[in-house]
Structure 1
Amino acid sequence: MTDHPDPRSFVGAAPAATTSPATTRHDGWTPARQAAFLHELSATHNVAAAARVVGMSRQSAYQLRTRMQGKPFAKAWEAAFLTRFDVLAETALDRALNGVEVPHFYNGELVGTSRKYDERLTLALLATRRSFVPQRPYDSEPAAAFKADELGALIERVADGPEEWRESCDDEYDARYGWETEEGAGPPSAMPSCEDAE
């Protein structure tokens, strides 16, 4: 269970840098509230519970996601669900490969155990194996500046950055790492760039 912030703390609680008319939302989903929702969503994988924690409804969360398709919030939503999905996938794979131990009782006493293998689980894992690898955006798209498993960076982007993606992947990197935007400046040689995105 996570520590739940007081939903009232999100009323008008957008960071000072984002309190312009362009980021004031009529629906109550401030950047700070969106970031807190995404943190809770990654911890619980429960949209209704995460929305309730920030004082919003499940329906408004889904409406926000629909309006934000193709924007940083939508990518962060996907990343929030991927954070613990790997644990679920590993557990399912372990059960498919090693089975589950089943106890056997006689007259109320444990007399032995056996392994039960679920062939349906094995077939389902084989049928969906490609879905475990998230698709990457094209390197030229601004979303390519963030990998699907970079939830923390995506939540910061939702909280601090503009609602829309910047013009290019390089612009997102520049803003993310605080690089100079002057011509000729860019990422240090040891830092990632859009060409490195995979």
Structure 2
Amino acid sequence: MTHTFDEDTAPTPNPTLAHALIAAPLEDGAGWTPARQATFLQALASTHSVANAARVAGMSRQSAYALRARLKGEPFDHAWTAALRCRFDALAEAAMERALNGVEVPHYHRGELIGTSRKYDERLTVALLMMRDSFRLPHARQHDVAARYGSDDFGRLVERVEAGPETWDEQDRQERIALYEEYARDAAAAEAEGDADEGDHDSDEEE
């Protein structure tokens, strides 16, 4: 089963996660399957909590960190960074709203509300945007497979984690094999076509 995402929309908190946090069993022995990794990443983007996301996936927080350490620089690690980044997008949007429109502050005198005013503070917005920029993927060489994915490609990265091999090198190897096999098929077809044309030419000469 493949998860699909709208790449233009940052994940929002899922109301069913509260039930999942209670219902999900821990460490059933199946380990971190690709489907579980995708579930964890989706929950991480929604909750911004490693412990909660791991529980949704039916795994422990410690094993999630261990998996990321083992796959440092690989698709799962990149998707983890992108999950945190897209969650900051939602937080930054709310903070920007507060910065632009202010927060209504009530004023009381002797226990009675006598009026309100608006307080504007852009420091929170600036701080959030600076934190968001810290969640960037490491630079990849232009021709590396990893270079096809950016910090904002959370949906594509999750799909890559679930459907592709565990490492970038393995994906590159598989793609090279597939390309070689395609070239071999094309060469065989061209050779067969050439042999057929030569046979037809010999028949014409005999006639």
TM-score range, shorter chain: 0.5 to 0.7
RMSD: 3.7
Q: What's the counterpart of residue 131 of structure 1?
A: 133
Tell me which amino acid in the other structure corresponds to 2:103. V
Pick from 64, 69, 72 the counterpart of residue 69 of structure 1.
72
> Secondary structure of the equivalent of 2:182?
coil
Alignment of 1:23-42 (within 5 A): 28-42=31-45
- What per-residue deviation string (whole Å, max 9, x for no partner) do you get for residues 71-116 of structure 1? 0000111111122211212333343444322111234432111122
Identity of aligned residues (%): 55
Tell me which amino acid in the other structure corresponds to 1:100. V
Cα distance in 2, alignment partners of residues 35 and 82 from structure 1: 16
Pick from 162, 165, 173 the counterpart of residue 159 of structure 1.
162
Pick from 92, 99, 102 the counterpart of residue 102 of structure 2.
99
Q: What's the counterpart of residue 80 of structure 1?
A: 83
Cα distance in 2, alignment partners of residues 156 and 125 from structure 1: 27
Tell me which amino acid in the other structure corresponds to 2:74. K
Q: How far off is 1:148 after superposition?
A: 2.2
Q: Is the 8 A contact 1:141 1:168 kept in 2?
A: no
Q: Is the 8 A contact 1:79 1:148 kept in 2?
A: yes
Tell me which amino acid in the other structure corresponds to 2:133. S
CA 1:180–1:105 in structure 2 vs 1: closer, same or farther (change >3 Å)?
A: farther
1:116 is aligned to 2:130: no
Unpaired stretches in structure 2, ≥5 consecutive residues? 1-14, 184-207
Q: What's the counterpart of residue 12 of structure 2?
A: none
- Name the TM-score, length of structure 1 as normaliser: 0.65
CA 1:100–1:9 in structure 2 vs 1: closer, same or farther (change >3 Å)?
A: closer
Pick from 49, 56, 60 the counterpart of residue 53 of structure 1.
56
CA 1:53–1:168 in structure 2 vs 1: closer, same or farther (change >3 Å)?
A: closer
Cα distance in 1, alignment partners of residues 118 and 152 from structure 2: 35
Does 1 or 2 have the higher relative contact order (CA < 8 Å, sep 6+)? 2
Cα distance in 1, alignment partners of residues 94 and 168 from structure 2: 35
More helix by share: 2
- Length, aligned pairs only: 165
CA 1:150–1:108 in structure 2 vs 1: closer, same or farther (change >3 Å)?
A: same
